[in-house]
Structure 1
Amino acid sequence: MRLDGVGRRYGRRGPWILRGVALAVEAGALVRIGGPNGSGKSTLLRIAAGVERPTEGTAELPARRAYVPERFPPALPFDARGYLRHLGRVRGMDAAEADRRAEHWLDAFGIADRAGTPLAELSKGTCQKVAVAQALLADADLLVLDEAWTGLDPAARARLDEAAADRAARGGRVLFVDHDPARLAGLTTAAYELDDGALRPVGTGPAGGATVLVEVETAGPGPLPQRLPGAPRRTGLPGGAVRLEVAGAHSDALLRALLAGDRGVHVRSLVAVPGPAADGHAHDARGDAGQDAQDVQAVPEEAR
């Protein structure tokens, strides 16, 4: 997902809500958007979700997107189960798969007993769970969450945390706004602040701007997946091992994806290099006699 020089205003003489916004969200990214009320966060997320078009600039978006709006319209002619089934069919699932996924998410959010209740008769909290469930039905390449946690009970908030982190770990992109500053803390790969229509970075994820080198072996059948968080550069090593080179902001998501897979991945080493080499790629820090010990991040015992 890439926004380039994006601006948005309503009407030819209306004030600019956004101006000159540039944002790239790569595979495996979990990106937070902050800013005061009225700063344009929801407008930015609607453009990212493809719900609105920018007044100026360009928006390159993945074909498969899912979106939880700030306000979900409950006055729709469906019950909860029927709405999820309908959205599943719209997203290309056959009837059986749409049914299966609808039942899964109704159960995951603890609302299976209200599956037959018309949306207009559901409580605000239950309606919000349906809104979140419809976005999680399919494995979208881009998941856009506009204060999706608001109105959810603690168990449902934790379930959404887990789903968002899992989507990024499996190579998707997640863009979110939430009023809780601790939301997904430690997992967010980048954060930005909107102020007076302009977007500026306010921090980076784990390992900052470093490049991380991960050497892995696969014990299970087949090679590593082609799609991995951060789109790492791959180098074959003697004995069938592979070195993955990824931006530090994506290193945690990459490790989660590797260790959660079904191929028996063994992480041989993990090295963080503070800054790229002159050719734009990291050098092998382990060959430098003067490499500081703090540049080497130990792999936890449970990961080995």
Structure 2
Amino acid sequence: MRLDGVGRRYGVRGPWVLRDVQLEVPAGALLRIEGTNGSGKSTLLRLLAGIDRPSAGRITGRPRSAYVPERFPAALPFTAVDYLTHLGRIHGLRGPEAGRRGAEWLARFGAAAHARTPLAELSKGTSQKVAVAQALLAEPELLVLDEAWTGLDQGAREVLNRAVAERVADGGTVVFVDHDPQRLAGAADARFRVADGRLLPHEESDPMGDEAPAPGPGVVIEAEGAPGAPLPGGPDGTSAGAPRLPGGTQVVPRPDGTTRLTVPAVHSDAVLRALLTARPPWHIRSVTGAGAGPGAGPGDDAPASAPASNLASAPPPASASTQASEPASAPASTQASEPASASASAPDEAP
């Protein structure tokens, strides 16, 4: 997707919230948007998701998109699962499939018990889980997250972190805003700052593909590919069309023909999926905890290596959180009744 000279203002004589935005949004990338309150971050995200239209300039090539707004409209006449089914159908899913996926995402977020609860009766934290689930259930090519972690309990935040990694590993693009500077630290392909109505590359942004490892526990994956097979999305012979491995994965070829990949734990499922679904697939010899982080070796306080020869063709989804929801700090919603929007294939051009 491409933004050329995009600007947005509210009202013919209103001040410009955004001016002359130039942005290439590549496939299979994680982009972070930063800026102070009121700088125009949310306006930019709505433009990216197709919720809003530019007052000037042109947006082309928008893929199938989904959006989590900063404020979720909880006062709607649906139960949680009925709302997810409704939004799934808007995304193009058949009703039974939309309902099944909605129920699965509620379970992953630890909210299965609230599937039949009216939205107006949900806590703010559980409402936020529904808001995130509606964007994830259709596996969008572009996922836009505006403070989506706010109000989630710790277990649900980890589920969302993994879901973001899965989207990127599957070739999707995720654009997000979050108030926590450590959110997905080191995993973003690029960071941008909105200031004075303009979108600027962040002065500390790492170049694409040269990211720092995320802090926290790491996982070491020992894998073996077919002779001559390139690592999927890896730096040493990227497979054609394969997404880049997420999370600043460190790759070390071994003399015995295997490859050691060290990755933040939050991205390990996505990396395993990329390896197992490659053509030809890679054989996973072991998966080992790295202890202190992705830079640590398997001997650094790591548990014993677990053989992975019995792994399925794709790793299972992360376990659903069973922790209680935390209250959200976001005020009541002012968004439209349907926060997610199917993408428009035609260019968005100002009149």
Identify the TM-score tier after normalising by the shorter chain.
0.7 to 0.9
What SS does the aligned partner of 2:62 have?
coil
Q: CA deviation at 1:24?
A: 1.3
- CA deviation string 1:136-167 (max 9, x = no partner): 00110000000000000000011101101110
For the residues of structure 2 that align with 1:197 and 1:229, how far apart are their CA atoms?
Answer: 35
Q: CA deviation at 1:11?
A: 0.9
What SS does the aligned partner of 1:11 have?
coil
Q: How has the CA–CA distance of structure 1 residues 194 and 85 changed in structure 2, closer, same or farther, with 3 Å as cutoff? A: same
What SS does the aligned partner of 1:243 have?
coil
Opposite residue 13 of structure 2, the aligned amino acid is R
**2:24 corresponding residue in structure 1:** 24
**2:184 corresponding residue in structure 1:** 184
What SS does the aligned partner of 1:48 have?
helix
**1:199 corresponding residue in structure 2:** 199
For the residues of structure 1 that align with 2:134 and 2:274, how far apart are their CA atoms?
Answer: 27
**2:123 corresponding residue in structure 1:** 123
**1:112 corresponding residue in structure 2:** 112
Q: Is the 8 A contact 2:170 2:274 kept in 1?
A: no
**2:237 corresponding residue in structure 1:** 243
Opposite residue 49 of structure 2, the aligned amino acid is A
Q: CA deviation at 1:36?
A: 0.4
For the residues of structure 2 that align with 1:28 and 1:100, how far apart are their CA atoms?
Answer: 26
Aligned counterpart for 1:264 among listed residues 281, 293, 303: 281
For the residues of structure 2 that align with 1:60 and 1:188, how far apart are their CA atoms?
Answer: 23
Q: CA deviation at 1:112?
A: 0.9
Correspondence list, 1:250-289, <5 A:
250=244, 252=246, 256=271, 258-261=274-277, 263-265=280-282
Q: How has the CA–CA distance of structure 1 residues 110 and 6 changed in structure 2, closer, same or farther, with 3 Å as cutoff? A: same
Q: CA deviation at 1:92?
A: 1.6
Q: CA deviation at 1:48?
A: 0.3
**2:93 corresponding residue in structure 1:** 93
Of Structure 1 and Structure 2, the greater strand share is in 1
Q: CA deviation at 1:260?
A: 4.7
Q: CA deviation at 1:96?
A: 2.3
Taking only aligned residues, the RMSD between alpha carbons, in angstroms, comes to 3.2
Q: Is the 8 A contact 1:229 1:253 kept in 2?
A: no
**1:155 corresponding residue in structure 2:** 155
Q: Is the 8 A contact 2:165 2:246 kept in 1?
A: no
Unaligned runs of 5+ in 1: 210-215, 233-241, 268-297
Opposite residue 259 of structure 1, the aligned amino acid is L
For the residues of structure 2 that align with 1:5 and 1:98, how far apart are their CA atoms?
Answer: 37
More deviation in 184-193 or 171-180? 184-193
Opposite residue 244 of structure 1, the aligned amino acid is T
- CA deviation string 1:111-134 (max 9, x = no partner): 111111110111111100000000
**1:48 corresponding residue in structure 2:** 48
Q: How has the CA–CA distance of structure 1 residues 79 and 245 changed in structure 2, closer, same or farther, with 3 Å as cutoff? A: closer
What SS does the aligned partner of 1:22 have?
strand
Opposite residue 120 of structure 1, the aligned amino acid is A
**2:5 corresponding residue in structure 1:** 5
Q: CA deviation at 1:94?
A: 1.7
Residues matched between the structures, number: 250
For the residues of structure 1 that align with 2:115 and 2:206, how far apart are their CA atoms?
Answer: 41
For the residues of structure 2 that align with 1:245 and 1:198, how far apart are their CA atoms?
Answer: 36
What SS does the aligned partner of 2:162 have?
helix
For the residues of structure 1 that align with 2:71 and 2:109, how far apart are their CA atoms?
Answer: 19
TM-score normalised to the size of structure 1? 0.74
Q: Is the 8 A contact 1:189 1:250 kept in 2?
A: no
What SS does the aligned partner of 1:127 have?
helix
Q: How has the CA–CA distance of structure 1 residues 224 and 67 changed in structure 2, closer, same or farther, with 3 Å as cutoff? A: farther
Opposite residue 6 of structure 2, the aligned amino acid is V
Opposite residue 148 of structure 1, the aligned amino acid is A
Q: Is the 8 A contact 1:102 1:137 kept in 2?
A: yes
Q: CA deviation at 1:53?
A: 0.4
Q: Is the 8 A contact 1:48 1:61 kept in 2?
A: no
**1:37 corresponding residue in structure 2:** 37
For the residues of structure 2 that align with 1:82 and 1:160, how far apart are their CA atoms?
Answer: 21
Question: Highest relative contact order (Cα 8 Å, sep 6+), 1 or 2?
Answer: 2
- CA deviation string 1:216-270 (max 9, x = no partner): 99549xx999xx869x9xxxxxxxxx93289xx9564696364252642379xxx
**2:74 corresponding residue in structure 1:** 74
**1:172 corresponding residue in structure 2:** 172
**2:146 corresponding residue in structure 1:** 146
Q: How has the CA–CA distance of structure 1 residues 90 and 206 changed in structure 2, closer, same or farther, with 3 Å as cutoff? A: closer
Q: Is the 8 A contact 2:276 2:283 kept in 1?
A: no
What SS does the aligned partner of 2:237 have?
strand
**2:137 corresponding residue in structure 1:** 137
Of Structure 1 and Structure 2, the greater helix share is in 1
Opposite residue 72 of structure 1, the aligned amino acid is F
Q: CA deviation at 1:64?
A: 1.1
For the residues of structure 1 that align with 2:274 and 2:106, how far apart are their CA atoms?
Answer: 29
Aligned identity (percent) is 55
